[in-house]
Amino acid sequence: MGKKCLFYVVLLSVALMAGSCRRAVEKVGRKIRFEGIERVERQGLTGAEVVVRIENGSAYRLTLASAQIGIFYGEALVGTLVLSDPVELDRRTTAEVSTRWRLRISDPLALYVMIRRVKAGEFGQIALSCSLEGRGGPAPVKFSREKMPLSDFLNTFGLSIQAVENYLK
């Protein structure tokens, strides 16, 4: 469940990869659109390949060099999702982008509790922290958030907890 949310964070970071001027970021951000998750394939016990469809209507090649997402259940760090390989998207392109992730489990007991709660439909105590680095054309971009509630994170992309539940079925 947390792996899927991570990919939305990655997409947010790609949308923020523009110049340092606030208006330029907003203008470019309107030209970058997440269209959806095409597929998720597990790779071993702690890996996943996620293919997403993104539209980059901007004049910049977008690069996500590194990304980490901390998954919290309450105050416990359950694990960290780490982007395995850099991701790029050419300018003025709509494409399927393949991303590879690894989960580093920090607290197996907290992971077990979180999985049980998610299966019961209880998402209230899940939060995400993220740290992303990349480029939007000539401008380097660094983005981070600390313990953002899952529902707030999903709202950023126009999604809901119900959409995640449907996706997990």
Residue 127's pLDDT is: 95
Residue 142 scores a pLDDT above 70: yes
Task: Tell me the per-residue pLDDT of 36-87, one tens digit each, with 9 for 90 and over.
Answer: 778 888 898 889 898 888 888 888 898 889 999 999 999 999 999 999 999 9
| Residue that wins the pLDDT comparison between 64 and 27 | 64
Residue 5's pLDDT is: 46
Residue 82's pLDDT is: 96
| Residue that wins the pLDDT comparison between 108 and 166 | 108
Among candidate residues 18, 20, 85, the one with its CA nearest the CA of residue 57: 18
Residue 18's pLDDT is: 40
Residue 14 scores a pLDDT above 90: no
Query: Are 19 and 139 a contacting pair, CB within 8 Å?
Result: yes
Among candidate residues 98, 15, 100, the one with its CA nearest the CA of residue 60: 15
Residue 161's pLDDT is: 79
Residue 7 scores a pLDDT above 70: no
Residue 22's pLDDT is: 59
Q: pLDDT-based confidence at 153, cuts 50/70/90?
A: confident
Task: Tell me the per-residue pLDDT of 82-118, one tens digit each, with 9 for 90 and over.
Answer: 999 999 999 999 999 999 999 999 999 999 999 899 8
- How far is residue 13's CA from residue 62's CA, in Å, rounded to a whole number? 10
